[in-house]
Structure 1
């Protein structure tokens, strides 16, 4: 479902908003029952995807079979510190378990150390292996923008695009900050629109901020307040029609 060129409350629908959301079920203390309830919520609202921990991919894939909700997971989460070979193995295992979207954390410390070739090679290696196994798999690269300078964010955008990944993503939601409008504008300005997409994640808890993120260049939104966001839009749309 494509979005308007300039998304606003007036030209968006609840269905459009739902299809921008990757519903996050990543808290370490989440029980199996809570994960299943989250999958049911995704099916009810018809979100773009559910993003679960790697251990829950099979569970989510079974729960959402027959729906149009994709199953995603995280790789090298939350700090990006596992070796490249381990990230690639984790990605291939996730695909085997039923994931079709993979959000990988780049090696933040090595990016800040200027080891750019290493970062590009890691993203390229994982992306190539994952797409060889499943050509339609979507690869998103998490930067953790709150820990980076603007110059480092621009470099990360360029490396991600050169490596062939599909998305650049602001944050894990588990560090010192989340998605900001300046970061989204910077990421959009330093990637090729239509080739590399932008995901806002971390702190997107309201409909108004979700729309701000879309206007700043985000194509996808990571959120856990999915039901509140969509219910708010439905209520406001209904009120506007009275």
Structure 2
């Protein structure tokens, strides 16, 4: 099985999170971008302030690597107006995929109209600029019922407001990789959570992010039906090793 076309190689740590200086963390970001170019992964997923760097490196390498970034990261609490400002800037900088963190805490509080509005506006912006849009629902913060309900809500908004030709460009994505769980529980994609997403997202595609650390786990996710896998251990996975990264 050729995994590279499924893999979104991911590096999203701030200087503080990585316990690195600004210069050291920039070197690490460059390493991930260079590796993704060399390995011909599907996409490099980086923070918004690295998009311009990635675009420059990809053009210099004459590579087809796509660039993704996160919007409203990592808790999703930003107002939609602020998320749209972030997205507009990322688009101007040359991004291909916009991974919005949905306001899942608002959803849990029952503020469904707020969530509907941000999903509609964020998706409208991305599709109008011919970008792929992904909605991160943060499965570790949700019950199984909430995973089902939020996935279904995103699907219904897309089906009600956009043409069928756009469905393949709007993903439901499992996780940020930064949610803090209790008792060492998984904070990323699990087989059970991804199955719920797949059952309720169709015909929208699903991205499994976090928790996929080796070839067999990646293969299982693909066989379940996911179309993208987000991981900071992409090289280990394609090499047949097990990644010890936290995402």
Gaps of 5+ in 1: 1-11, 234-242
* TM-score between both structures, scaled by the size of structure 1: 0.85
Show structure 1 runs of 4+ deviating over 6 A.
none
The residue aligned with 1:170 is 174
Is 1:54 the counterpart of 2:48 in the alignment? Answer: yes
Secondary structure of 1:200's match? Answer: strand
Is 1:110 the counterpart of 2:102 in the alignment? Answer: no
Deviations 1:62-106 (A, max 9, x none): 111221110000000010011110001111110101111011101
In structure 2, C-alpha distance between the alignment counterparts of 1:204 and 1:223, rounded to whole Å = 7
Given that 2:214 and 2:237 are in contact with CA atoms closer than 8 Å, whether structure 1 keeps it comes out as yes
The residue aligned with 2:214 is 206
In structure 1, C-alpha distance between the alignment counterparts of 2:93 and 2:157, rounded to whole Å = 25
In structure 1, C-alpha distance between the alignment counterparts of 2:57 and 2:211, rounded to whole Å = 27
The residue aligned with 1:75 is 71
Given that 2:98 and 2:126 are in contact with CA atoms closer than 8 Å, whether structure 1 keeps it comes out as no
Displacement after TM superposition at 1:163 (Å):
2.9
Displacement after TM superposition at 1:159 (Å):
1.9
In structure 2, C-alpha distance between the alignment counterparts of 1:163 and 1:121, rounded to whole Å = 9
Secondary structure of 2:122's match? Answer: helix
Is 1:25 the counterpart of 2:11 in the alignment? Answer: yes
Secondary structure of 1:140's match? Answer: strand
The residue aligned with 2:245 is none
* RMSD (Å) for aligned C-alpha atoms: 1.3
Is 1:228 the counterpart of 2:232 in the alignment? Answer: no
In structure 2, C-alpha distance between the alignment counterparts of 1:210 and 1:55, rounded to whole Å = 29
Secondary structure of 1:190's match? Answer: helix
The residue aligned with 2:85 is 89
The residue aligned with 2:134 is 140
Select 1:123's aligned residue among 119, 123, 128: 119
In structure 2, C-alpha distance between the alignment counterparts of 1:71 and 1:227, rounded to whole Å = 17
Displacement after TM superposition at 1:130 (Å):
2.5
In structure 1, C-alpha distance between the alignment counterparts of 2:97 and 2:56, rounded to whole Å = 16
The residue aligned with 1:159 is 153
What is the total number of aligned residue pairs between the two structures?
215
